Structure 1
Amino acid sequence: MTIPDSRFPASGFSATDHALMARALRLAERGAYTTRPNPMVGCVIARGDEVVGEGWHQRAGGPHAEVFALRAAGERARGATAYVTLEPCAHHGRTPPCVDALVDSGVARVVAALRDPFLTVNGAGFDRLRAAGIDVAFGLLEAQARELDRGFLSRIERGRPWLRVKLAMSLDGRTALGNGESKWITGEAARADVQRWRARAGAILTGSGTVLADDPRLTARVPDADIAPPLRVVLDRHLRTPAAANLLDGSVPTLCFHAASATPDARFARVECEPLPQGTGGLSLAVALEHLAARDIGEVQVEAGPTLAGALFAQGLVDELLLYVAPVLLGSDARALLALPPLTDMADRWRLRMVDERRVGDDWRVRCLTA
């Protein structure tokens, strides 16, 4: 299928276009905790600079953003412009195609931030709108829209989730005392911030070493927020997780990856177990991510020790580093941030691109991308 490219340069959109698409992106983000595995989408219906309807995709399986916005606009949608953060769907899924609702409403123009790469959409929505005589343009605030839906796009375009590694360290780059004690390096505000990042992830991944050392719950706890619980995932090659571990309590969906030679016993009765092939130094991390993508997981947050986190970096599987830095010193006997292979040439160092830094309580949060 040949898709005419109606992407405009930034100068092709008005200041009003920019402002209303920015509004649609803010609306989309309201679905961060509940739309998985669907993308976050926002929609604004406007006549000139007057907003007559708006909405966002609130929950997977529920109406899409365009439907909510059109309901709010009513008859005032006729002749208006619809600003939507992702190409409207053109297929029947759990809900009818959004392009049909837009065509029936009589909107004159649709501006989208992104073309949807999902196989059953991927330009078909734009084609249907144009065939109905609706003016279509896309590419407005595309970078911001890609950032918002990075997990969905990663799963569709690369066949694996977006992988975020969360770490906390002291100013001297340490994560725990020499005896393993690590609670708490950062303060309460930083720990609450981590919960919000957990809540937007489709899965939270850890290793059996962290389970044995810290017995984490790996649940997302954000007060007064509606959250679809992320899948808890543990890499436990030899099934060492003890029966009393929090991860085996059955409170939220949990998946245990293990070696094919290991057989789950009664300890794992309330969790799902899946064998993985052997990889470099343990279970195949790349295959684990492929399996999670096949389960429609778009974002994975890793909360693990230096061995697993270092292996993910060394194998080029990390997309984002979420690093909390506390204004404390732990000394030279404390444990290092990452276990990485030694380098002999500075040209081989791992390069990160800082995209955000801010103070969170008494600590600093730094976000870096690997590419």
Structure 2
Amino acid sequence: METPEQDAAHMARAIELAGRGHGTTSPNPVVGCVVLDAAGQVAGEGFHAYAGGPHAEIVALAQAGERARGGTAYVTLEPCDHTGRTGPCSRALLDAGIARVVIAVADPNPEAAGGAARLRAHGVPVTNGVLAGAAERGNEEWLTYARLGRSHVTWKFAATLDGRSAAEDGTSQWITSPEARADVHRMRAAADAIVAGIGTVLADDPSLTARAPGAGRDEGDGPARDGRTPLRVVIDTEGRTPQHARVLDDRAPTLVAVADDARTGLKADLLRLPRHEDGLDLRALLRELAAREVVGAFLEGGPTLAGSFVGQGLADRVLAYVAPALLGSGSAALGAAGVGTIGEIHRLTFDDFSLIGPDLRLIARPVHPLGREQ
């Protein structure tokens, strides 16, 4: 039997493999698997590459073949125990003769959970919780979706070193470099939906698309990944989106969220939602998006909408691009977010610092557990 140190090392590899499916598996989770033979040598590796495709365990078992018999399987998410687009992975592990299974995170989906129990019922020892934190971070969008029944939200903004997202006259193109903007499109393309407010639509007339690699336009041009285009979502309480707005063109599907009592003649796919304070009920929005299999939403736009998401605890990840530049005046990146005193400050933890061209990219998350409300 492998030592705890060996378990951690093999699970780290499984988490690395799972990351290769990020952006292409929705509405399924990202999952990685490593299979050892009976002698403790790696016999097979796999990850879930796309929805409807073989699960990570199936890929790894196929690579391992007969060497899997008597071996150990490391899986970042509890093996499924139901038949959906594919068969139950718990049964595949048993049929392959796996003698031990190590799991990072239990499956919160009641329809798919139960794989660990089935394995134990057939005499296969199961170890839970190995590198659970790292596995959760790699699968945070789907875990939020599965645990809370709403879309996971990444709030992206670009700002100067002194925290300004636009100059005093409202101009903001371009604060960051072409390299940073290209990175934004890559991050957009991994989301299921790109969200902006009516203020941004009226001020900038954005396309809200994700540029395919090699495209020349800053606003995107066509499908970004595997022919799939993120849904565009406009939060427009009164239905004021101009009919000629680029966000309503045919380059990607668009959903316009309006108040349930809004009187608008807008010809678009409208989602009517309850009002909440000065806007719409954002939790209701995220639940409706989840019902449309939007696992991860990419929030763009101005400081007011961002403040609403942050203030209501609905910004699950913050993606900041900071340019080595100063404005001294102009709009801040974040508007009112429900903080009246320093004791109410929204605390985050940094996960990543990267130089993208001349700019600094920061990724931070709220300090509360992943996939759970504060």
Q: TM-score, normalised by structure 2?
A: 0.89
| Structure 1 segment 186-265 matched on structure 2, within 5 A | 186-223=176-213, 226-227=225-226, 228-262=228-262, 265=265
SS in 2 for 1:59: coil
* Compared CA separation, residues 261 and 343, structure 1 to 2 (3 A): closer
Amino acid at match of 2:185: Q
Determine the C-alpha separation between the residues in 2 that align with 1:349 and 1:137: 38
* Compared CA separation, residues 341 and 219, structure 1 to 2 (3 A): closer
CA deviations over 1:211-256 (Å, ceiling 9, x no partner): 1111222222352874432221111122222222221112222211
- Paired residue for 2:217? none
2:62 pairs, out of 59, 63, 71, with: 71
Amino acid at match of 2:41: E
Asked if the contact 1:248/1:267 (under 8 Å) is kept, the reply is no
Alignment of 1:184 with 2:180, yes or no, is no
CA deviations over 1:89-113 (Å, ceiling 9, x no partner): 0011111111111111111111111
- Paired residue for 1:59? 50
- Paired residue for 1:101? 92
Determine the C-alpha separation between the residues in 1 that align with 2:88 and 2:342: 53
Determine the C-alpha separation between the residues in 2 that align with 1:136 and 1:222: 42
Alignment of 1:129 with 2:125, yes or no, is no
Alignment of 1:43 with 2:51, yes or no, is no
Determine the C-alpha separation between the residues in 2 that align with 1:206 and 1:36: 21
- Paired residue for 1:80? 71
Once the two structures are TM-superposed, the CA of residue 295 in structure 1 deviates from its matched residue by: 2.2
* Compared CA separation, residues 31 and 263, structure 1 to 2 (3 A): farther
Alignment of 1:110 with 2:101, yes or no, is yes
**Greater displacement, 352-361 / 21-30:** 352-361
Asked if the contact 1:45/1:73 (under 8 Å) is kept, the reply is yes
Determine the C-alpha separation between the residues in 1 that align with 2:319 and 2:365: 9
1:368 pairs, out of 347, 364, 371, with: 364
**Greater displacement, 34-43 / 50-59:** 50-59
Structure 2 unpaired stretches of 5+: 215-223, 368-374
- Paired residue for 1:320? 317
Determine the C-alpha separation between the residues in 2 that align with 1:32 and 1:218: 20
- Paired residue for 1:305? 302
**Greater displacement, 91-100 / 238-247:** 238-247
Say how many residue pairs are matched: 355
Once the two structures are TM-superposed, the CA of residue 316 in structure 1 deviates from its matched residue by: 2.3
SS in 2 for 1:110: strand
CA deviations over 1:127-175 (Å, ceiling 9, x no partner): 1111222221121111011001111111221222222210110111111
1:24 pairs, out of 11, 14, 23, with: 14
Once the two structures are TM-superposed, the CA of residue 266 in structure 1 deviates from its matched residue by: 6.5
Once the two structures are TM-superposed, the CA of residue 178 in structure 1 deviates from its matched residue by: 1.9
- Paired residue for 1:8? none
* Compared CA separation, residues 343 and 27, structure 1 to 2 (3 A): closer
Identical amino acids, percent of aligned pairs: 48
Asked if the contact 1:16/1:49 (under 8 Å) is kept, the reply is no
Asked if the contact 2:185/2:211 (under 8 Å) is kept, the reply is yes
Asked if the contact 2:241/2:266 (under 8 Å) is kept, the reply is no
1:165 pairs, out of 155, 159, 162, with: 155
**Greater displacement, 108-117 / 313-322:** 313-322
Q: TM-score, normalised by structure 1?
A: 0.90
1:350 pairs, out of 346, 349, 369, with: 346
Once the two structures are TM-superposed, the CA of residue 343 in structure 1 deviates from its matched residue by: 5.6
Amino acid at match of 1:370: P
**Greater displacement, 52-61 / 241-250:** 241-250
Amino acid at match of 1:257: A
Amino acid at match of 2:331: R
Structure 1 unpaired stretches of 5+: 1-11
* Compared CA separation, residues 266 and 318, structure 1 to 2 (3 A): closer
Once the two structures are TM-superposed, the CA of residue 370 in structure 1 deviates from its matched residue by: 2.1
Amino acid at match of 1:162: H
* Compared CA separation, residues 330 and 17, structure 1 to 2 (3 A): same
1:288 pairs, out of 270, 285, 290, with: 285
Determine the C-alpha separation between the residues in 1 that align with 2:203 and 2:40: 56
Amino acid at match of 2:28: N
* Compared CA separation, residues 214 and 99, structure 1 to 2 (3 A): same
SS in 1 for 2:336: coil
Determine the C-alpha separation between the residues in 1 that align with 2:335 and 2:236: 18
